[in-house]
Amino acid sequence: EHEYLLSGRCEVDDLAERFRLAIPESEEYDTLAGFILHEQGEVPEQGSEVVIGPFRITVAQVVHGRVDLVRLAVTDAEMGYSA
C-alpha cells in the first residue's frame, strides 16, 4: 500500500488522471475536499473515510470547518506493483 498526503484543494480531474482514481464527475464539486463533503453530506471530521475501489481517502486535517489535508492510500496492485 502507498500513501500520499494531499491538499483538499487538489482538483479531482488531476487526481483522476494521475492515480486513475474514478471519482464521479459532478457539477457539485471540483476539488477533493468538495468531493468528500458531497459524499459525507456534511463537513467531515478528521479520520472520516471514503473508499473508491482500491483507494481509501481519509480526512487528515480539518481547519475551521474546511478539509485541509487528505491522505490517499492506494494498494500496491493498483499501482502496478506485486508483492
Domain count, the chain: 1
pLDDT level of residue 82 (50, 70, 90 thresholds) = very low
Range of the domain at 53: 2-79
pLDDT, tens digit, 9 for 90 and up, residues 6-58: 999 999 999 999 988 889 889 999 999 999 999 999 989 999 999 998 999 99
CATH code, 72? 3.30.465.10
Give the list of residues 6+ apart from residue 35 with CB closer than 8 angstroms, or none: 12, 23, 26, 29, 50
